[in-house]
């Protein structure tokens, strides 16, 4: 293993340890904020594998978040313990991704993005109206954890953190693998990828299933954490929009991008909320435009470009 890698791993372990002990020094409010950041990072990673690496934007990916939340709520209302419901939620999400993905992912191009918007809206509508099963538009409750609040939010802090670490590591190894090259080839040039023997439909469907898997578990955790969920909250189109913005500002197609992006966006939200209360919608809109115009490759992309330019300049100096 190269020295560079050893240093990176060492730094990562330090960061992980820091984050694990961080709650001791923070208020309950901040712990909850950071838990939300971890959650958004997971959802953004789900989008990252599809859009950042493969070039297929699942605009409606929040549907898996909602599915995860609702399967958890329904399962626990039937008396099933949390740790049993979570795999159920994940499996349900994966099934949806395969059933809905197969017909649409056979095609190339933009259709997928639009289709997912429609699917998400359709699922939202159905959940809102199937009151006997889902509790309807008013929402539904989950069993409250009978413990001290600080224990509860610390538990979910660690759980979300763990989920984020697992998601990020999984993505890291997937992208480096043979399968990962297949995914990246689809984004790079789908026609060429096909001509090289890559079964692109298979890759697209599996990638979406992976995305659905992690996103739904985030939803499951969220539901249990909040003890109450409502359809227009967990299927909210704003989840998707925020996730896309996070992915963009952090840097699509990079492993750490979604995490960095989640921190930046949450930071902005905290600051902007009080400063721009009446204009927070327009503020977000303007932020999006600024990001697209000035930092389209996000933080990680811009840094990578900067490093590349430095290397080229260094090489030029040497050759003179």
Per CB under 8 A, residues contacting another protein are: 51, 55, 57, 59, 100, 103-104, 107, 110-111, 113-115, 117-119, 121-122, 124-126, 128-129, 177-178, 181-182, 184-185, 187-189, 191-200, 237, 241, 244-245, 248, 252-253, 278-282, 284-286, 288-289, 292-293, 296
Q: Which is nearer to another protein, 146 or 278 (CB)?
A: 278
Q: Report the run of H or E that residue 84 belongs to, with start and end.
A: helix 82-105
Judge whether 65 and 216 are in contact, CB under 8 Å.
yes
Q: Which is nearer to another protein, 35 or 61 (CB)?
A: 61
**Burial class (CB within 10 angstroms; exposed 0-12, middle 13-18, buried 19+) of 92:** buried
The whole-angstrom separation of Cα 208 and Cα 214 is 10
The whole-angstrom separation of Cα 79 and Cα 306 is 54
Q: Which is nearer to another protein, 149 or 197 (CB)?
A: 197
CA-nearest of 81, 46, 51 to 65 is: 46
CB within 8 A of 310, min separation 6: which ones? none
CA-nearest of 245, 271, 66, 27 to 157 is: 27
CB within 8 A of 276, min separation 6: which ones? 282, 283
Q: From the CB of 10, what's the least distance to another protein, in Å? A: 25
Q: Which is nearer to another protein, 10 or 279 (CB)?
A: 279
Q: From the CB of 286, what's the least distance to another protein, in Å? A: 7
Q: From the CB of 253, what's the least distance to another protein, in Å? A: 8
**Cα 202–Cα 175–Cα 157 angle in degrees, nearest 5:** 110
Q: Which is nearer to another protein, 35 or 48 (CB)?
A: 48
Q: Which is nearer to another protein, 32 or 280 (CB)?
A: 280
CB within 8 A of 206, min separation 6: which ones? 179
Q: From the CB of 293, what's the least distance to another protein, in Å? A: 8
- Structure tokens given for 254: 């990079």
Whose tokens are 């939803």? That residue is: 219
Q: Which is nearer to another protein, 17 or 126 (CB)?
A: 126
Whose tokens are 């399962």? That residue is: 75
Q: From the CB of 311, what's the least distance to another protein, in Å? A: 11
Q: From the CB of 121, what's the least distance to another protein, in Å? A: 5
Q: From the CB of 3, what's the least distance to another protein, in Å? A: 19
CB within 8 A of 80, min separation 6: which ones? 88
Q: From the CB of 206, what's the least distance to another protein, in Å? A: 15
Q: Which is nearer to another protein, 137 or 158 (CB)?
A: 137
């Amino acid at each position: 293993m190269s020295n560079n890698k050893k240093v990176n791993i060492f730094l990562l372990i330090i960061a992980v340890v820091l984050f694990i002990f961080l709650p001791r020094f923070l208020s309950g409010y901040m712990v909850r904020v950071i838990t939300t950041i971890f959650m958004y990072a997971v959802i953004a990673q789900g989008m990252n594998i599809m859009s950042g690496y493969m070039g297929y934007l699942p605009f409606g990916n929040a549907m898996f978040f909602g599915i995860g939340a609702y399967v958890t709520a329904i399962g626990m209302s039937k008396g099933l313990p949390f740790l049993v419901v979570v795999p159920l939620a994940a499996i349900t999400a994966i099934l949806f991704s395969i059933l809905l993905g197969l017909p649409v992912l056979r095609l190339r191009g933009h259709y997928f993005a639009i289709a997912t918007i429609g699917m998400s809206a359709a699922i939202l509508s159905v959940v809102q109206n199937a009151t006997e099963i889902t509790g309807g538009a008013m929402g539904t409750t989950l069993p409250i954890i009978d413990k001290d609040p600080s224990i509860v939010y610390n538990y979910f802090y660690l759980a979300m953190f763990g989920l984020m670490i697992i998601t990020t590591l999984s993505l890291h190894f997937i992208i480096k693998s043979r399968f990962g090259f297949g995914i990246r080839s689809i984004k790079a040039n789908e026609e060429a990828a096909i001509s090289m023997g890559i079964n692109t439909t298979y890759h697209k469907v599996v990638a979406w299933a992976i995305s659905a898997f992690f996103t739904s578990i985030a939803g499951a955790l969220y539901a249990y954490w909040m003890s109450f969920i409502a359809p227009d909250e967990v299927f909210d189109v704003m989840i998707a929009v925020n996730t896309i913005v996070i992915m963009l500002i952090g840097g699509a197609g990079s492993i750490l991008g979604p995490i960095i992006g989640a921190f930046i966006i949450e930071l902005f939200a905290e600051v902007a909320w009080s400063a721009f209360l009446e204009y927070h919608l327009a503020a977000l809109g303007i932020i999006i435009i600024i990001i697209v115009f000035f930092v389209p490759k996000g933080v990680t992309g811009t840094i990578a470009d900067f490093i590349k330019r430095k290397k080229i300049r260094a090489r030029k100096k040497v050759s003179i």
